[in-house]
Amino acid sequence: MIDARRATAADGTAVGEIHAASWAAAYAPFFTEDFATPQIQSRLTRWHDRLSSGEGTVLLALVDTLPAAMTWLNESETRPGVAEILSFYAHPRAWGTGAAPALMTETLETLRTQGFSTVHLWTLQATPQSRRFYEKSGFTETGNTQSRDFGDGKPLQQVEYERAC
């Protein structure tokens, strides 16, 4: 059974574990081990404060009560009136379970309830698995790209996707 709900401050550890494990699988290969290791560690611990502060909305999907996927969304800082999915990650152990599509459905419903009609996101150009997921979820590329430096001085290309909520 898959359940998706709003995360609470008590979910900080679960959300952090999902973010860290997914980031390690999808992003760490782009970096040196010396850089990736502290990046993964920081993802384990940053969610307690973010959830306590109420900064945006964080949703959590569970598969048979096991935390499986998370998303963080808010109004876009660069596109007023448009929502932005700032993070969307599924734990590698949950890949193929249906947790990510269920969470995306809940994400879009939450955004509609919050009054948004359009949502956008950025994802790494060189991550075909995430790009396929967003396309299967009804997102289309906008044609916009940007470079993102994660802090190692070697920017990676991102592509923007959007869809109606």
Q: What is the DSSP string of 101-132?
A: HHHHHHHHHHHHHTT-SEEEEEEETT-HHHHH
pLDDT of residue 87 exceeding 90, the answer is yes
% pLDDT > 70, the chain? 100
% pLDDT > 90, the chain? 99
pLDDT per residue over 31-44, tens digit each?
999 999 999 999 99
User: Rounded mean pLDDT of 126-131?
Assistant: 95
- Quote the pLDDT of residue 54: 87
Instruction: Give yes or no for a contact between 90 and 22, defined as CB atoms under 8 angstroms apart.
Output: yes
What are the structural domains, with CATH classification, of the chain?
2-164 (3.40.630.30)
Query: How many CB atoms lie under 10 A from the CB of residue 154?
Result: 12
- Quote the pLDDT of residue 33: 95
Instruction: Give yes or no for a contact between 85 and 15, defined as CB atoms under 8 angstroms apart.
Output: no
pLDDT per residue over 51-70, tens digit each?
999 889 999 999 999 999 99
Sign of dihedral through CA atoms 47, 53, 55, 59?
Answer: positive
User: Rounded mean pLDDT of 2-30?
Assistant: 96
